[in-house]
A and B are shown apart, each in its own frame.
Chain A
């Protein structure tokens, strides 16, 4: 059975804003019925201000699909359309205190319904750019077409490369055999032989980002979380970036705080979203001497 958070269960058993919204002026219907999820998002937008006055949903789907829909409507009510569009699928998952990795696509569907509903309100045509191929990675819903194209475009040679670039294979790892087969195929096209055990590319950073840009991006993320840390009497500083490991120094009340690991995990998650790659965040002064507490 899935290990759903209490928040997911609560939003499933008592969904908010379920049912038809009679005077909706923006409707988004998205779904993948073969995957067992479909969602209609209905918005009532105030034309003068672009503010979402009300949002309702109807969902065909599993527990986390219904909970994600319910959470989404709660999150966007009262926001302007532009503000609402900034809600990412990760935000939906965070709002629900996380979703099992195999269920992240439920939050993606919510995000797509929002785009579709806003497009509908604005009189635009929304189309999804998703390529439909045979699913390889079921945890992150990555298909063979995307994996093949990514291998081709970046001359990838190992399963780890594919995971770094597409996320495929980063979950339960049962698709590694399938990824290897695609590697064998694409590599033979370019006259190479797939060799198991080939190390991953040194720096699998997203195309086009220089080291400097990457460090700036990391600093920007740290700036974002800094106010929160300061509120609790702590701070964070960037020490070094070594490939996929980001070293930081937790200072003030944060150093040695019992919540340090949790805080770092949250920051790591944010960094991964922004950098679009897997990284590891490591504190340089683990368990510092001062045993201050964040919440006296």
Chain B
């Protein structure tokens, strides 16, 4: 498919080398790793290798701390439900207002089941108030779940520090790190993080494979019970091909770590600076000083994100938006609302997320196209006149 793909926080292209590593496991190496013959044995060894490749990327102490799951959402659900079941005397959860729906929807459900969920607020740059967090950390809290990097803005949370505080209070600590893994150097063995979620397709592995990191010694209750796979912690025949693919992708991500944080970051910064310079009334959301190297989320005031995406798509450019209309809901992104971004800007946010495959030429092309598109839509906007917002503010009757 021709085009410029700047939507890598949604999903990534599977690397050719990853596909190549996977292919034999569809055909000649098709065995079930649980079987007592060499068909199975060879596959078992391949899974072991993949587990060690992931272990290395995460900086985990033991390869047995890696549990393969079907996706990031499964890892998130497993982690939180396990923590609650393992500590039935504790009935509270701490999370943030800007988590991914994989956490927020589950928490809303758990509230109905009688659990108390505390949602940490963020400031206008998407930062947490650690004093608020400290106050909430009582002996009632079973688990804290805080994302490593926000999927929309890329903003980091201080999870390593927060895990230590949780540990001191006797609460388990989980982090949804699906956006951070592969872009941020990790060394989990030196942290108090008990559980961490990984999603394969965010780092050039296929969709349908994830990992739950579970620190040795963490009390655990499985979500899926059945066979002895993954040491009884996640029953179900292994997705062998995808596990092998994720292993290879993890190895490649580790090799590309410096590149992601220098070259990809440089391209992102160039893109962002040029757009901000050329487009009036635009600004970066989140915390530009502390975020993923590949992500730039820009709010274009007084126009709507889906319309921007449709026009970008016409030029072969793929990005995503926090507008209500792109999600199928009627509300703009909860992340933008949590940061107090006004509706007239929240609906016009566009997220550009690059990868190590992004090129300078692509960045230049996007820089050339975006200002035109924004100007075109602002001409249609009832809030806009000439070079800026209407002097007499547009105030429609709310229907």
Contact = CB atoms under 8 A, between A and B. Distances in A.
A44 interface: no
A12 B398 contact: no
Contact of B323 (A36, A38, A116): A36
Contact of B382 (A13, A40, A108): A40
A36 B332 contact: yes
Interface stretch (A59-67, A146-154, A189-197, A260-268): A59-67
Contacts of B305: 36, 62
Contacts of A58: 380-382
B304 interface: yes
A176 to B, nearest CB: 15
Interface stretch (B93-101, B251-259, B389-397): B389-397
B330 A105 contact: yes
Interface string A32-62: 1111111110000000000000000011111
A62 to B, nearest CB: 4
Given A62-B325, A66-B380, A31 B396 contact: yes
Kindly list the 10 A-B residue pairs having the minimum CB-CB distance in the complex, ordered from nearest.
Answer: A62-B325, A62-B306, A58-B382, A31-B396, A29-B396, A40-B382, A36-B347, A36-B324, A35-B330, A33-B343
B37 to A, nearest CB: 46
Contacts of B344: 33, 60
A66 B399 contact: no
A34 B382 contact: no
Interface of A: 12-13, 15, 18-19, 29-40, 58-66, 102-103, 105, 108-109, 112, 116, 126-128, 130, 132, 135, 138, 141
Interface of B: 302-307, 310-311, 314, 323-326, 328-332, 343-344, 347, 379-383, 394-399
Given A30-B397, A109-B399, A60 B323 contact: no
Nearest to B383: A60
Given A35-B330, A62-B304, A19 B379 contact: yes
A15 B329 CA distance: 25
B306 to A, nearest CB: 4
Q: Is the interface of A mostly helix, strand, loop or mixed?
A: mixed
Nearest to A31: B396
A112 B399 contact: yes
B380 A35 contact: no
A34 B307 contact: no
A18 B310 CA distance: 18
A32 B398 contact: yes
A138 B325 CA distance: 11
Contacts of A36: 304-306, 323-325, 330, 332, 343, 347
Nearest to A4: B310
Given A61-B325, A62-B325, A126 B304 contact: no
B382 A59 contact: yes
A135 B330 contact: yes
A108 B330 CA distance: 14
B307 A63 contact: yes
B328 A102 contact: yes
A65 B310 CA distance: 13
B380 A18 contact: yes
Contacts of A138: 328-330
Contacts of A102: 328
A31 B399 contact: yes
Contacts of A35: 324, 330-331
A183 B318 CA distance: 42
Contacts of A12: 307, 310
7 contacts: A13-B314, A36-B323, A36-B347, A39-B382, A59-B382, A62-B304, A65-B307
